[in-house]
Amino acid sequence: MIDVELESVSKRFARTGDAAAVDDVTLTIGAGEFFTLLGPSGCGKTTTLRMVAGFYFPSAGHIRFGGQDVTRMAPNKRDTGMVFQNYALFPHMTVAQNVAYGLKVRKVSRADAARRVAEALAEVHLDGYGPRRIDQLSGGQQQRVALARALVIRPRMLLLDEPLSNLDAKLREETRTEIRRIQRESGTTSIYVTHDQAEAMAMSDRIAVMESGRVQQVGTPREVYHQPANAFVARFIGRSNVLSLPVATAEANRVEVALPGGGHVFAGAPEGHGLGAGDTALVSARPEHVTVVSATATGALRGRVTAVEFTGMTTHLTLDVDTGGAETRMTVAAVDTPDRIGAGDRVGLRLPAERLWVVRP
Ligand code: ATP
For residue 337, what pLDDT band results from cuts at 50, 70 and 90? low
Atom of ligand 1 at shortest distance to CA of 15?
29
Predicted structure pTM score:
0.91
What is the average per-residue pLDDT within 45-65?
97
For residue 299, what pLDDT band results from cuts at 50, 70 and 90? confident
Q: What is the pLDDT of residues 243-298, one digit of tens each?
A: 999 999 999 999 999 988 778 899 999 999 999 999 999 999 999 999 999 888 88
Q: For position 347, which CATH number holds? A: 2.40.50.140
For residue 44, what pLDDT band results from cuts at 50, 70 and 90? very high
The DSSP bridge partners found for residue 62 are 7
CA of 15: how far to CAs of 20, 54, 72, in Å?
10, 20, 21
With a 6 A CB cut-off, is 145 part of the ligand 1 pocket? no
**Residue 360 near residue 229, CB atoms below 8 Å:** yes
What is the average per-residue pLDDT within 213-231?
96
With a 6 A CB cut-off, is 40 part of the ligand 1 pocket? no
Count CB neighbours of 168 within 10 A. 10
- Kindly give the distance from the C-alpha atom of residue 42 to the centroid of ligand 1, in angstroms, as a whole number: 5
Give the closest residue (by CA) to ligand 1 atom 2: 41
* Mean pLDDT score of the chain: 91
Distance CA 234, CA 238 (A): 7
Residue 237 lies in a domain: no
Task: Tell me the best of 10, 23, 43 to mutate to test the pocket of ligand 1, counting ligand atoms within 8 Å of each CB and taking the most.
Answer: 43
Collapse the DSSP code of 299 into the 3-class scheme (helix H, G, I; strand E, B; otherwise coil) and give the result: coil
Give me the DSSP letters along 220-257: -HHHHHHS-SBHHHHHHTT--EEEEEEEEEE-SSEEEE
Domain co-membership, 197 together with 270: no
Long-range Cβ pairs for the range 199-204 (8 Å, 24+): 199/164, 199/172, 200/36, 200/38, 201/225, 201/237, 202/176, 203/34, 203/36, 203/176, 203/179, 204/34, 204/35, 204/36
Chain centroid to CA 222: how far? Answer: 12
Residue 276 lies in a domain: yes
Give the closest residue (by CA) to ligand 1 atom 11: 44
Domain co-membership, 30 together with 125: yes
Q: Which of 208, 231, 254 is the last residue of a domain?
A: 231
Q: Which of 190, 211, 231 is the last residue of a domain?
A: 231
Q: What is the pLDDT of residues 146-205, one digit of tens each?
A: 999 999 999 999 999 999 988 888 888 988 998 999 899 989 999 999 999 999 999 999
Domain co-membership, 222 together with 253: no
With a 6 A CB cut-off, is 195 part of the ligand 1 pocket? yes
Q: For position 176, which CATH number holds? A: 3.40.50.300
- Kindly give the distance from the C-alpha atom of residue 46 to the centroid of ligand 1, in angstroms, as a whole number: 7
- Kindly give the distance from the C-alpha atom of residue 87 to the centroid of ligand 1, in angstroms, as a whole number: 19
ipTM passes above 0.90: yes
Domain co-membership, 173 together with 64: yes
Q: Which of 231, 263, 285 is the last residue of a domain?
A: 231
Domain co-membership, 15 together with 163: yes
For residue 17, what pLDDT band results from cuts at 50, 70 and 90? low
- Kindly give the distance from the C-alpha atom of residue 43 to the centroid of ligand 1, in angstroms, as a whole number: 7
Long-range Cβ pairs for the range 170-178 (8 Å, 24+): 171/138, 171/139, 171/140, 172/199, 174/140, 175/140, 175/143, 175/144, 176/202, 176/203, 178/124, 178/125, 178/144
Residue 285 lies in a domain: yes
Distance CA 73, CA 324 (A): 56
Q: What is the pLDDT of residues 101-144, one digit of tens each?
A: 989 888 999 999 999 999 999 988 899 999 999 988 988 899 89
- Kindly give the distance from the C-alpha atom of residue 10 to the centroid of ligand 1, in angstroms, as a whole number: 13
Distance CA 170, CA 26 (A): 35
Q: What is the pLDDT of residues 1-13, one digit of tens each?
A: 789 999 999 999 9
What is the average per-residue pLDDT within 350-355?
86
Give the closest residue (by CA) to ligand 1 atom 28: 13
Whether the per-residue pLDDT at 357 is higher than 90: the answer is yes
Domain of residue 152, residue span: 2-231
Calculate what percentage of the chain has a pLDDT beyond 70. Answer: 97
Structural domains of the chain, count: 2
